[in-house]
Chains A and B, each alone.
Chain A
C-alpha cells in the first residue's frame, strides 16, 4: 500500500472514483466550452449550432466537430489580434508569454498563455514530476537552451514550484553539461531520449561511467520514447526513466507513475477521447489503437476544444497498481502524421526504433529514407555501427537485421552502413525519418 500522503501530488484528485472523474470532466467541459464560445471568435463561429447546456454525456461531446492544427493555422493567418488570432481567449494585454510549435508539420503555431494559464500548465507538470519521484531534495539539470519549446520551460517552472533546485544547461556543449552535472551533483534530467543517449555516450568518451554520475531519474520530452529506448536509457544511466505525452497546443496530458507500465491520463484536468482512426467517432476499447482527441479543461488563454492531437495510442485499462484511478495508455504508437503507406503497407518509423533499440545494441544512430524509384517506393535505413567488426560479422548482422525488419514492418529495407559519427546528432527533436517521395 503506497503512502497516501507523499505519493500523490493531489491524493483526492488522483484517486477519485471513475464516475466522479467523469462527472467532473463533463462539468468542466461545459464550462470551458461556454468560456471559449463567449471569449473567442473562432469557437463562437465553430460551435454556433451547439448549446453548451445540451452537452450531458460523452455521446453529446462527440457530436462537436474536432479542431485540428490546420484550424489553428487558419485562425492565426493574418488574423487579429496579431499574432495569436481568433483563438485567443483573453485580452492581448493578459498574455504574459507564448510558446511555439516546432513546425514539424507546417507553419509553427503561436500558443499564448496568460499568467493564470501558464500556472495551470505548470501545475500539470508538478503532477508529472511528482509522479516521477521528484522531491525537494532533487537537483534537476535541463541540458538545453529552451527557446520556444514548451516542455522544458514547464518542467523548469514546475520543478521550482516543487522546491527542486533547477539547473538550466543551455550555452554549454555536451562535455560542459556533463561537467556541470557533476559539479552541482544533479540527481535528475529532463531531456529528449536522443540527447539522453548522446550524453551517456559522451560521458563514456570522457572516461566517466554515466551510471555513477548520480542521476537517479530522468523525464523524457520532445520525441517518442519506445519502451526499448526507455530501457536502454535506464541501463545507461542506472536511473528511472519516465515518459510523458503532450504537445504545445494541448499541454502535457499523460505521464508515467513509478510503476512505469504505461501512461496515466492526467484526469480530470483533461478530457481525453481515444477514437477510432478512420471515422474518429467511436471510442476504442481497451487494447485497441486510436487517435487521441484532447480537451484541456482549465486553460483559458488559448482554449483547445476536442483538439485532434494525431497521436496514435493504445488504450489501457482504468487505474493502476499505484491506486491512481485515471485511464491509462498502454503504448504511444506514433503519430498520424508519421504513418505512411509504403508499397501499400502502413508504416510508422517508431517500429524501426523499437526493433533497433531492443535487439541491435551494436547499432547507434540511424536514419530512414523513403524515395520513389521508378514506380516503386524504396525504403532505406542508414545506420552507424557502434564498434569495429569484421566484414563477415557485419554482413551477418545486416542479414539478421534485414530479416527482423521484414517481420516487424512487412517491408524490405535497403541497408546502408555509414561511418560512426556520419549521421546528424540532435539535441531537440530528432529527424530520423525522411520521406522524399
Chain B
C-alpha cells in the first residue's frame, strides 16, 4: 500500500466519526447560534460569509497542494521543473486577497457601526462584575440585586447528578422586556470580568474604575444564558449570566412584584427571629455567599482564605465579626456584604458562622445589624 493510500485511510478514519456524530447527538453543537437579536443575526451571517470564503480559499489552495502531492511525486517518476519565480503570478496572488479582504471589511464595518449606536434606550441597567457574581441595578427603577450561581456544590463535586442547566443557572436572573432597547452600563468591583450572552451577541469587559456601554434589543421572550468570559480568579468558571426576557406586560408585573418583595423584606426585618430560624436561613446564605472561599466546613484554604472555626473573631465580641462581614476587608478577597445582603440575611449568616462547626459565638440579632447599617 502506498503511503498516499495510507494517508487517505487515516484521514477518513479521523473525519468519519465527526460526520456520524453530527446526526446522532444534538449536543454536539458545531456552530455559532443565530441568537435572538438583529445584531446577533447579522454577526451570525457575517461569521458564515467569512467561513464560506475561507472554505473556498482552502479548497483551491489545498486542492493545488494535494494535486501536486499526488501527481508531482518522485515515485510516479515526476521530474522537477526549474521555474522559481514569476512576477505576474506573485502580484496576482497579492492583489486577489486584498480584493477579498475589502469585500469582507465592508459588511464587517457596517455591523460594527450598528453595534455602536447606543442612543434611544428605554431601559438602563448597570452591570457590575464581582468576584464571582454579577450585580444588576435598574437605573430607572429602584431595583438592585446580585445574581449568584445556583448550581449546588454537590453537583460540582459529583456527589449528585448534574441538572440540565448545570453551571448556567442563577438564583436571580436579569429580567428585561422584549422589543425594547436596553442599554447596559458595565463596570467592575474588583478585577476585569467580561459579560457575555451569546444569544445577544453582547460581550463587553467590565473594568474596575471605568464604565463601558453595550445594548441589546431582544425580539422574543425567552431565557438566554451566558458566562463570564475574562479570567477573573478562582471561580471564573462559576459566574454564569441568565437573562430572562419577558413581554412588556410580564415585565411590568415583575417590576410590581419586586416592589412588593421589598416591602416584605422590610416586614421580615421587623419580626423577631429565633436563633434556630436565623441559623437555618444563615446556612443558605452561607452557601451562596461564603462557601466558595471559606469552604463548607468553615476551614477556608490555608494561606489563601482564612478559616472560621474557633477563631477569636467568631467567638469574641460580635462587633468585629459584623464589621468584617458588612464592610469587608480592604486589600483582600473579603467583600463588603453590607451592600449585597439585607439586614436579615446578614444577621442570619453571622449567627450561622458564630454557632456552626462548634463555634460558641452566640447569636446576632437583626436589630443589631440594622443599627450598624445606619437605619437605611
A and B: real partners? Answer: no
